[in-house]
């Protein structure tokens, strides 16, 4: 059995590119990316008696009688649970909790590296809204915040909204709101590069899932531009009879003129294309049909809706992707460490739309002189966490 398993792994690694092989080797060498460290040593009997029995009983009695003191005596003042059911992992789809675990570990690694937050990956082998909510509520007393991750739409919407109502700690679905915040930040600067106003722009969003929905709502809140959302069956309009409740809600913010058609139809004359859908959907001819100096955020991973070299040939002015190997990476890692750093430090119970808008403006402001190749600060920019945390109050 072991020989067979090793052969399958070797065959998989042989078939992948060199970067994938390096990633597999690095993960196997470390056997995961995170570990638990201690804030003090247990190098004496006195310390053992203080931190464990009998001393810890005094702390337990105190917080049992005054639960509001828990964050002052435990790690909840600096801890976040990174929770996923593995139903919408990266561009890989529903690959289950085991498949999600390396991504959640990576998220925890980013929390610690950028914001010094202790984050714990929690993958759940349940998939209904009720089950996910029950599991998160059961573990919530151990944490100061909940970061929901890679939970498929439409369940993710219900999960977040119900948990926000039921828990006294911040709950943030990063796939939705982290993506939306960074997209808005990038667009604020793209507007400067192209001398446009966001409120006057025609925007086409490809993808009506978690990220697409959050982007629409945040852009509406910020500037109320003219927006159209496209799913696999075309433009979302009031004329369609196949819309689920979540897609019907998008009509409150988009397509006020009830236009029907395909992506190629609606993208004609658009100022901005935002892709959170599927690789290869946007063609050069579609880009050429857009307005002068088009802005394209093609964020499908690992393959964008259009590759930057193809978009450049078609006349794109500002190009962004979700990838780190091209300029202008639109990545929610730019914002979520700062969001939670501010929420934990300032005892924020709910992360509001106002917090998100302020965070986007702060991120945009970190790029002093935007250019077509620099509209967003790098994930590694050391200023970002503190700047965002300062406005999450």
**Active-site residue numbers?**
52, 107
Q: Read off the DSSP letter of residue 291.
A: P
Q: Which two tokens stand for residue 93?
A: 């789809």
Best CA proximity match to 290, nearest among 268, 320, 317, 262? 268
Separation of alpha carbons 173 and 156, rounded Å: 8
C-alpha to C-alpha distances, 298 to 54, 61, 272, 310, 311, nearest whole angstrom:
58, 54, 10, 12, 10
- Evaluate whether 125 touches 97 at the Cβ level (below 8 Å): yes
- Residue 44 structure tokens: 């004496």
Cα(112)–Cα(89) distance, integer angstroms = 21
Q: Which residues pair with 118 in a beta bridge?
A: 79
Per the CB < 8 A criterion, the answer to whether 101 and 121 are in contact is yes
DSSP 8-state assignment for residue 89:
B
Closest alpha carbon to 254 in 229, 219, 223: 229
């Amino acid at each position: 059995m072991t020989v067979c398993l090793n052969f399958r792994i070797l065959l998989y690694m042989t078939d992948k590119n060199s970067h994938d092989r390096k990633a597999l080797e690095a993960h196997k060498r470390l056997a995961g990316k995170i570990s638990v460290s201690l804030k003090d040593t247990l190098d004496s009997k006195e310390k053992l008696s203080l931190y464990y029995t009998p001393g810890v009983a005094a702390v337990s009695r105190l917080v049992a009688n005054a639960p509001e003191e828990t964050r002052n005596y435990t790690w909840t003042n600096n801890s976040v649970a990174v929770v996923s059911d593995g139903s919408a992992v990266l561009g890989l789809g529903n690959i289950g909790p085991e498949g999600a675990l390396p991504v959640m570990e990576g998220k925890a690694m980013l929390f610690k590296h950028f914001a010094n937050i202790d984050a714990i990956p929690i993958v759940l082998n349940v998939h209904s809204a009720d089950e996910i909510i029950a599991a998160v509520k059961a573990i919530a007393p151990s944490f100061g915040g909940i970061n929901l991750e890679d939970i498929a739409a439409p369940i993710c919407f219900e999960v977040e909204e119900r948990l926000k109502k039921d828990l006294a700690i911040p709950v943030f679905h990063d796939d939705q709101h982290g993506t939306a915040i960074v997209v808005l930040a990038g667009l604020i600067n793209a507007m400067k590069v192209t001398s446009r106003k966001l409120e006057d722009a025609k925007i086409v969003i490809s993808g009506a899932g978690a990220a697409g929905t959050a982007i629409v709502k945040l852009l509406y809140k910020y500037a109320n531009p003219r927006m159209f959302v496209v799913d696999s069956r075309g433009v979302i309009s009031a004329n369609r009879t196949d819309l689920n409740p979540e897609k019907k809600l998008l009509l409150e913010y988009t397509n006020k003129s009830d236009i029907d058609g395909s992506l190629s139809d609606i993208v004609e004359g658009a100022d901005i294309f935002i892709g959170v859908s599927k690789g290869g959907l946007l063609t050069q001819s579609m880009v050429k049909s857009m307005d002068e100096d088009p802005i394209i955020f093609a964020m499908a991973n690992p393959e964008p809706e259009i590759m930057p070299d193809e978009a450049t040939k078609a006349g794109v002015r500002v190009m962004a992707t979700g990838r780190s190997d091209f300029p202008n990476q639109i990545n929610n890692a730019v914002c979520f460490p700062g969001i939670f750093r501010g929420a934990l430090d300032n005892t924020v119970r709910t992360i509001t739309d106002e917090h998100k808008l302020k965070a986007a403006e702060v991120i945009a402001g970190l790029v002093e002189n935007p250019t077509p190749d620099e509209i967003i600060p790098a994930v590694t920019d050391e200023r970002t966490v503190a700047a965002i945390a300062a406005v999450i109050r």
